[in-house]
Amino acid sequence: MTSQEHGNGTAPRSRPRGTAFLLAQVGAHAAARFAERVGVLGVAPSDVGLLRMISTRPGRSQQSLAEELGVVPSRVVTLVDGLERKGLVERRRNPRDRRNYALHLTEEGSRVMAGMREVGAAHEDDICAALDEPQREQLAALLEAVAVQQGLTEGVHPGYRR
Amino acid sequence: MTSQEHGNGTAPRSRPRGTAFLLAQVGAHAAARFAERVGVLGVAPSDVGLLRMISTRPGRSQQSLAEELGVVPSRVVTLVDGLERKGLVERRRNPRDRRNYALHLTEEGSRVMAGMREVGAAHEDDICAALDEPQREQLAALLEAVAVQQGLTEGVHPGYRR
DNA sequence: TATTGTTATACTCTATAACTATA
DNA sequence: TATAGTTATAGAGTATAACAATA
């Protein structure tokens, strides 16, 4: 379980960059390219997760978003402020409990969400351009295995995490 | 947890997010874990690349580091300031051309570099814990192909990039 | 004039903690 | 008292641009 085991005859190809470094490198690159793309739609990467979560389960409270994302509530305030200012999200008061808001996408917000799906597909094709379809599935499966073993929450980018 | 009569999440683990998202997610996670580990050695992830580059080619100028990393020279000043304050790096004046510095690791800097290699190996084992050796090589090969096609510079984390 | 490095400044992102309104 | 959300503030990280020293 400890470090490098050079035994077993085969150590022909020294790995110049470790797998973990490659993961971080390629991952950061993918994130940066995605940021460029969604930037065209007028949103930041941190907005994207929020929009998707609100779209998936409309009426959510800011608190529930903060919990799932692993961020402090005040940050959700800032993010929702931005989305509201851009007219993508609406805060609706709940008459039963006037402490919390029910968050909903506006029509414009839904349009942007649709745009993001297109952007996501183009992004996917761009990043995986070096791989054919079986290779892409192989890569996805390997990453999925790592993600599960590392305890990553499905669909939540660690960039939110404290 | 608030009311949630929504179709409760039996997430089909087929392909929830795209491969590109998985890359960004797992990559950011790997980077965060690495930051934790090197933090124990008293350095930040941004220090690591610098130390390695100076270690590989001692006597480099700050300018050359800035170019290779794709950052503005003033940022290298800040980074080297930090490393010098920690006693890991030394700025030596070049008598031939007194405009630039020749950067060298101190003895302590070399010790930290050695520590980073151990940390790197442990990190690698941690991140790839879900995979056996053939799978790790497969993953590395796929990532390598993506990295090359995307034009990523070997060993340079895009986190430096503008 | 060009190059290397530095300083001064400002901007973005995010967390902490105190606060308001409601329950 | 407890909870949802907000505001005020501060810190880290990084870029831009003006600057000094040297060539």
- pLDDT tens figures, A143-162: 999 999 999 999 999 999 86
The string of DSSP codes covering chain A is --S----SS---S--SS-HHHHHHHHHHHHHHHHHHHHHHTT--HHHHHHHHHHHHSTT--HHHHHHHHT--HHHHHHHHHHHHHTTSEEEEE-SS-TTSEEEEE-HHHHHHHHHHHHHHHHHHHHHTTTS-HHHHHHHHHHHHHHHHHTTPPTT--TTS--
**Chain A 61-100, residues with CB within 8 Å of chain B CB atoms:** 61, 64
Average pLDDT over residues B129-142: 97
Query: Is A134 inside a domain boundary?
Result: yes
Q: Which range marks the domain in which residue A44 is found?
A: 33-149
The predicted pLDDT at position A16 comes to: 55
**Cβ pair B29:A158 closer than 8 A:** yes
The string of DSSP codes covering B93-151 is E-SS-TTSEEEEE-HHHHHHHHHHHHHHHHHHHHHTTTS-HHHHHHHHHHHHHHHHHTT
**Cβ pair B27:A32 closer than 8 A:** no
Q: Is the pLDDT of residue B103 over 90?
A: yes
* Candidate from A13-17, A71-75, B9-13, B129-133 with smallest mean pLDDT: B9-13
A24 and chain B: CB distance < 8 Å anywhere? yes
Query: Is A82 inside a domain boundary?
Result: yes
| Distance C9 C1' – B77 CA (angstroms) | 16
The predicted pLDDT at position B14 comes to: 44
Percent of chain A with pLDDT over 90: 86
Report which residue is nearest nucleotide C22 when distances run from CA to C1'. Answer: A99
Name residue B86's beta-bridge partners: none
Each residue's pLDDT tens digit, B82-96 = 999 999 999 999 899
Question: How many angstroms separate the CA atoms of B84 and B152, rounded?
Answer: 29
Query: Is B90 inside a domain boundary?
Result: yes
Going by C-alpha positions, the residue among B135, B81, B131 that lies closest to residue B103 is: B81
Q: Do β-strands A89-93 and A101-105 pair in parallel, antiparallel, or remain unpaired?
A: antiparallel
Q: Tell me which of A14 and B63 has the higher pLDDT.
A: B63
Q: Is the pLDDT of residue B4 over 90?
A: no
Average pLDDT over residues A102-124: 97
Q: Is the pLDDT of residue B25 over 60?
A: yes
The predicted pLDDT at position A161 comes to: 80
pLDDT band of residue A5 (cuts 50, 70, 90) is: very low
Each residue's pLDDT tens digit, A68-86 = 999 999 999 999 999 999 9
**Chain A 34-53, residues with CB within 8 Å of chain B CB atoms:** 34
Q: Across chain A, which distance is largest between two alpha carbons, in Å?
A: 71
pLDDT band of residue A1 (cuts 50, 70, 90) is: very low
CB A43 within 8 A of CB A88: yes
Whole-number average pLDDT of chain B = 90
The predicted pLDDT at position A162 comes to: 64
**Cβ pair A26:B147 closer than 8 A:** yes
The predicted pLDDT at position B16 comes to: 53
Q: Do β-strands B101-105 and A89-93 pair in parallel, antiparallel, or remain unpaired?
A: unpaired
Helix (H, G, I), strand (E, B) or coil at B90: strand
B120 and chain A: CB distance < 8 Å anywhere? yes
Query: Is A161 inside a domain boundary?
Result: no
Question: How many angstroms separate the CA atoms of B58 and B129, rounded?
Answer: 35
Query: Is B19 inside a domain boundary?
Result: no
Task: Spell out which residues of B between 16 and 45 contact strand D, using CB within 7 Å.
Answer: 44
Query: Is A141 inside a domain boundary?
Result: yes
- What's the structural domain count of chain A? 1
Residues of A with CB below 8 A from B148's CB? 130
Residues of B with CB below 8 A from A4's CB? 121
Query: Is A15 inside a domain boundary?
Result: no
The predicted pLDDT at position B161 comes to: 80
- The one-letter amino acid code at A73 reads P
CB A82 within 8 A of CB A140: no
Question: How many angstroms separate the CA atoms of B125 and A104, rounded?
Answer: 43
The predicted pLDDT at position B2 comes to: 33
Each residue's pLDDT tens digit, A49-64 = 999 999 999 999 999 9
CB B123 within 8 A of CB B34: yes
A151 Rama sector, left if φ>0, alpha if ψ -120 to 50, beta otherwise: left
Average pLDDT over residues B110-139: 97
CB B33 within 8 A of CB A37: no
CATH of the domain at B53: 1.10.10.10
Query: Is B161 inside a domain boundary?
Result: no
Helix (H, G, I), strand (E, B) or coil at B89: strand
The predicted pLDDT at position A100 comes to: 97
B128 and chain A: CB distance < 8 Å anywhere? yes
